Structure 1
Amino acid sequence: MQIVKFNNVELEVLEYEKTWALSDRQVAQGFGVSQEAIRQQRTKGATEYVEGVHFYYKNMYNDGKGGLSDTPVDLSGGAQTPQKMTFWTKKGVVTLGFKLRETPQTIAFRDWASDYIIQPNKPSSATDLFYQSALALKEQEQRIAQIEQERRDDHKELAKVKHNINRLMTNEQYMTIIAYANLKGIPAKSYNSSALGRKAKKLSNELGLPMGAVIDPRYGRVGTYAIEVLELIFKDIKRVG
């Protein structure tokens, strides 16, 4: 329960499911009308006010201090007789605000009800604070562990990619245009390496074959291609020997 002041009236705001509620009496005080006027709205507007949505009933007990409690209080006077009370939810209070005769106070209280959001209860003890802090710390540790695991997975994936690239670049089944020509004894004057490189790239894409690269001290980054691609593009070039 939270105590909220509205026009010098202390409202005892109760939590109800995911919203809040006020008693019949306090709703009347907020709107500045009689409790009977609120009761008549509920009974005469039976089709507009739905139990469990706009209002609900609850047994309350005298707490011996002039107030009410939702649980029996031991007053050493025998069993207490519960008092059935009506409580209005936020939705019910706002709806009432549109049905009652409009006055500056009914409008103001309706606006207050529309805007008011019940605040989460603060921890009631140091133990609760410690427990909540421990939960938050545990969640943070789990998140850090998750991030670290994701980083490890990323490093593994990167290492795998680098390994595949290195394997591709050093694989004997992949060669540069010039290396293949030298291996096969094809004279350099009989072909244009740039033109053949473009053909090799186009053919590799068509066949769905990967391509690699090596660093040449004279030409920089030079493409490598599958042997079968190189064989196809050199097939019309005369070999020496």
Structure 2
Amino acid sequence: MAPTAAATAMAAQFASMAVSSPSISAAKLSSSFTANNASLLSLRKRVSVAPVRPRSVDVQAKGGFIPAEHRWMYEGIEKMGPDVWNTTYYPKADDHKNVEKKWYIVDATDKRLGRLASTIAIHIRGKNVPAYTPSTDMGAYVVVINAEKVAVTGKKREQKLYRRHSGRPGGMTEETFDNLQRRIPQRIVEAAVRGMLPKGRLGRRLFTHLKVYEGSDHPHIAQQPAPLPIADKRINIVQ
């Protein structure tokens, strides 16, 4: 069937519209984008010339801003002194100098091992200090004398074991409390206090503040150690 003259004319009109319309639309879009971009740039330059500062705002010495209508709430606040309640305290280097640490001495005769070790650990860590900080060495030195006379309760003399290892296969050695007390009595007190100190380099540093000796003689007379304050009333085995 042959196409009519009207159909042929309509097809030619649609073809001419498809060819001419993209060029016109692209030109219009490019011109409008250029105009909008230029207006945006000019607007940005006008806005960001200088920051606008509020007129009714006063600047504090610390850098905060207080509105003028709220200044009456802060009148006379400088007379109250520094804000110690909302400030986190951390001890300075002058608060825990090793040359200014206290020295204590305690006689381990007839004192329970666990209660004695906990009291020593408290003073070595500095938990008795009001400004105690867990991550800081704020404690004192403790001298223990008569370590061979420390006491334990129940059947711990025969049942409590102390283990050490040589580092080789099968090198485990076990020893009872009674045997170790006759051989090296200082090691008993040292092991009890070491277990109550933090694990890490801080604990290893604090452990050096413990001085344990067999007998009543010690080489720390020049430090003039004071008696260790003991608050536990059940520390003595003989009441």
TM-score w.r.t. the length of structure 1 is 0.24
| Higher helix content, 1 or 2 | 1
